[in-house]
């Protein structure tokens, strides 16, 4: 695949940005890639491992002249970062983001962007529990979905070009509106993460089961929860605070179902449990058939991290 953007700026140099960089380099999708992260430690690591063609010490220097600017920072700071870069953006440039929530990010970012800049929010549905500049790898987005959420009035050509980039990064691409995105993700990602955090917290509180037993016998389901519950605390705090309504809606339904299962167990209602588990098994099969996970119980995560 040939070059899609002459100049790309990555703002924030963690898991997603570093994976995008290695994946862009794999296929030669960008001419020059500049990068900026808040701390000098992260910028030093990026320089040491060759993450970005040019690591800049100022955020405005990183975005100057860029055709595509990708905001790869936690959801809670997207607006502040957009305000910082607004004056340095090239007319005709596209700004996108990779945030896990879309409605709130659009509300934060859009008001800061100049008229001559295209805004095409995005969200790659790919990740690991690792974070930081060393955690990325080129294959992260392979065969995963990336959702684009163009705002009203967006130039379709800007969206189409970004779609081509994500396809080049290895993803399938779909478009949907922000409200729907946030509900879908509350079901498929945000509520499950909260449940995993809770389950690991419960095990931690349970004094009668020792820590060593929890660790030693964790393969029976708990291990996958611990992997999810090891995800970045800043990122997930911001996700819940900014996707509040959809997450609370799904958690309300979850609680009702949990009570129903609790009652079935208490009343010895095996038919209810069996019917429920038969239905959920079919969903698992559907995910495997759609190529979105393997049979191994590792949530499809893995891959080589960059040393
Ligand atoms: P990460 O590995 O923790 O990296 C975050 C980066 O943002 C770091 O380089 C950090 O800089 C930088 N940063 C934080 N605040 C900043 C600020 N105010 N100005 C400039 N840079 C700042 O995070 P990530 O996992 O790549 O996540 C980035 C975004 O992708 C988030 O919005 C998240 O919701 C989304 N996302 C994550 C996943 C996932 O599974 N991880 C999946 C899909 C989407 P320092 O290192 O200097 O602190």
Residue 114 has pLDDT above 70, yes or no: yes
The pLDDT-based confidence of 254 (bands split at 50, 70, 90) is: very high
Kindly give, in sequence order, each residue whose CB lies less than 8 Å from that of residue 97, ignoring residues fewer than 6 positions away.
Answer: 70, 71, 72, 78, 105, 109, 121, 122
Q: Global pTM?
A: 0.92
| C-alpha span between 77 and 19 (Å, rounded) | 20
DSSP state of 61: H
Residue range 262-300, pLDDT digits in tens:
999 999 999 999 999 999 998 888 888 888 777 654 444
Q: Quick one: pLDDT band at residue 303, thresholds 50, 70, 90?
A: very low
Compute the average pLDDT of residues 191-201.
Answer: 91
The pLDDT score that the predictor gives to residue 44 is 98
Ligand 1 site, CB within 6 A:
12-17, 37-39, 42, 72-75, 77, 80-81, 98-100, 123-124, 127, 131-132, 232, 235, 239
Q: How far is the CA of 20 from the centre of ligand 1 (A)?
A: 13
3-class SS letters over 167-225:
HHCCCEEEECCHHHHHHHHHHHHHHHHHHHHHHHHHHHHCCCCCHHHHHHCHHHCHHHH
pLDDT given for residue 295 in this prediction: 61
């Amino acid at each position: 695949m040939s070059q899609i953007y002459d100049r790309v700026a990555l703002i924030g140099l963690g898991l997603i940005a570093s994976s995008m960089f290695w994946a862009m380099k794999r296929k030669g999708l960008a001419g020059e890639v500049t990068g900026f992260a808040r701390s000098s430690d992260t910028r030093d690591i990026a320089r040491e491992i060759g993450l970005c063609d040019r690591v800049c010490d100022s955020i405005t220097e990183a975005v100057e002249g860029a055709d595509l600017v990708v905001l790869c920072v936690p959801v809670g700071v997207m607006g502040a970062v957009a305000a910082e870069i607004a004056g340095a953006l090239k007319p005709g440039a596209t700004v996108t983001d990779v945030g896990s929530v879309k409605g709130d990010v659009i509300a934060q970012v859009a008001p800061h962007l100049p008229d001559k800049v295209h805004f095409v929010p995005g969200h790659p549905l790919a990740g690991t529990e690792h974070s930081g500049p060393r955690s990325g790898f080129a294959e992260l987005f392979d065969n995963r979905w990336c959702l684009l959420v163009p705002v009203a009035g967006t130039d379709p050509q800007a969206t189409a070009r970004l779609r081509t980039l994500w396809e080049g990064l290895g993803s399938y691409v779909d478009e949907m509106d922000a409200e729907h995105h946030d509900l879908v993700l509350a079901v498929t990602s945000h509520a499950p993460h909260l449940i995993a955090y809770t389950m690991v917290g419960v095990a931690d509180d349970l004094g009668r089961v020792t820590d060593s037993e929890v660790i030693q016998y964790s393969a029976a389901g708990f291990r996958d929860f611990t992997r999810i519950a090891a995800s970045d605390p800043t990122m997930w705090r911001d996700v819940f605070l900014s996707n509040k309504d959809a997450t609370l809606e799904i958690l309300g339904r979850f609680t009702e179902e949990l009570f129903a299962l609790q009652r079935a167990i208490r009343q010895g209602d095996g038919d209810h449990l069996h019917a429920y588990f038969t239905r959920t098994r079919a969903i698992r099969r559907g995910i495997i058939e759609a190529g979105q996970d393997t049979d191994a119980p590792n949530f499809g995560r893995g891959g080589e991290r960059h040393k």
